[in-house]
Amino acid sequence: HSTTATVTVVDNSAPSVVTQDITVALDASGSASITTADIDNGSSDNCSYTLALDITSFDCDDLGANVVTLTGTDGSGNTNSATATVTVVDNLAPVAVAQNVTVSLDANGAASITTADIDNGSSDNCSNTLALDVTSFTCSDLGANVVTLTATDGSGNTHSAAATVTVEDNIDPTITAP
């Protein structure tokens, strides 16, 4: 006498998800991306499984620590997740580009310049601020004066460029007769 039995194999075991913290650097366009392989640190399951990340792209707004979640899902729909920290850094210095200018002293024998006068298209993969080492000139500065334009980004990376500021006195002297 024989009987037939139905055996149902069930996978109730969720994947084991193991993560690692990483650091990624922004590229020249100010972006970085990661994959599951970058975060996975030995995840496993008793059957086959897939891994997915909730965040894979980063930009200048993400500088610093970012928490991402790695989720493992097996063929039976069992899931497990773990988090990792992705530290986004900007290692690229800005590019300072300077141009030469000529300024004329005013009636008080003074002239001044701003970063906008010297800047000639400075740039960065994120954002930068510009500063000049010299902005004011007097009669004692007539002729060529070298100034330094420095671009600094939010991560403290800097680059400098030199420019020549030519100071002129175009105001005729006045004579007062006795």
State the pLDDT confidence band at 178, using cuts at 50, 70 and 90: confident
Does the pLDDT value for residue 9 go beyond 70?
no
CA torsion sign for 106, 108, 110, 114 is negative
Q: Is 165 exposed, middle or buried (0-12, 13-18, 19+ CB in 10 A)?
A: buried
Read off the pLDDT of residues 68-125 as tens digits, 9 standing for 90 and up: 999 999 988 899 999 999 999 999 999 999 999 999 999 999 999 999 999 999 999 9
CA distances to 27, 83, 105 from 68, rounded to whole Å, are 20, 6, 58
pLDDT at 174: 76
Single pTM value for the model: 0.79
Average pLDDT over every residue of 121-139:
97
Average pLDDT over every residue of 146-167:
97
Question: What does pLDDT average to over the chain?
Answer: 94
